[in-house]
Amino acid sequence: MKISFIGAGNIAWHLAPALERAGHSIKEVYSRHLKNAEKLCKNLYDAEAQAHVNFSRSKAQLFIIAVTDGSLPEVLEHLILPPQAIVVHTSGSHGVGVFDAKKYPLAGVFYLLQTFSRAKPIQMEEVPICIEGSNQEVESILLKLAASISKNVQLVSSQNRKTLHIAAVFACNFTNHLYSIAAEILKDKNLSLDLLKPLMQETLEKALELPPKEAQTGPAYRGDANIIQEHLAYLEKFPTYQQIYRLLTESIIKVKNADDGS
Contacts (CB under 8 A) with a copy of itself, residues 233-252: 234-235, 240-241, 243-245, 247-248, 250-252
Q: Give the torsion sign (CA, 172, 173, 177, 183).
A: positive
Mutual angle of helices 239-261 and 175-187, in 10-degree steps? 130
Q: In sequence order, which ranges of 27-90 are alpha helices (DSSP H)? A: 34-42, 72-78
SS3 for 188? coil
Residue 70 interacts with a copy of itself (CB under 8 A): yes or no? yes
CA 55/CA 232 separation, integer angstroms: 59
**Closest distance of CB 21 from a copy of itself, Å:** 19
Subset of residues 115 to 154 that bind a copy of itself, contact rule: CB under 8 A: 115, 117, 120, 122, 126-128, 130, 152, 154
Residue 221 interacts with a copy of itself (CB under 8 A): yes or no? yes
Q: Which stretch binds a copy of itself (CB under 8 A): 51-59, 79-87, 133-141, 229-237?
A: 229-237
Which residue in the set 35, 97, 218, 257 belongs to the binding site for a copy of itself (CB under 8 A)?
218
Subset of residues 186 to 215 that bind a copy of itself, contact rule: CB under 8 A: 186, 188-189, 191, 193, 195-209, 211-213, 215
Contacts of 54 (CB under 8 A, 6+ apart): 80
Nearest residue (CB) to a copy of itself, 74 versus 126: 126
Contacts of 63 (CB under 8 A, 6+ apart): 3, 4, 5, 6, 55, 79, 81, 85, 86, 87, 88
**Closest distance of CB 124 from a copy of itself, Å:** 10
Nearest residue (CB) to a copy of itself, 35 versus 254: 254
* Beta pairing class for 129-133 and 107-112: antiparallel
Residue 93 interacts with a copy of itself (CB under 8 A): yes or no? yes
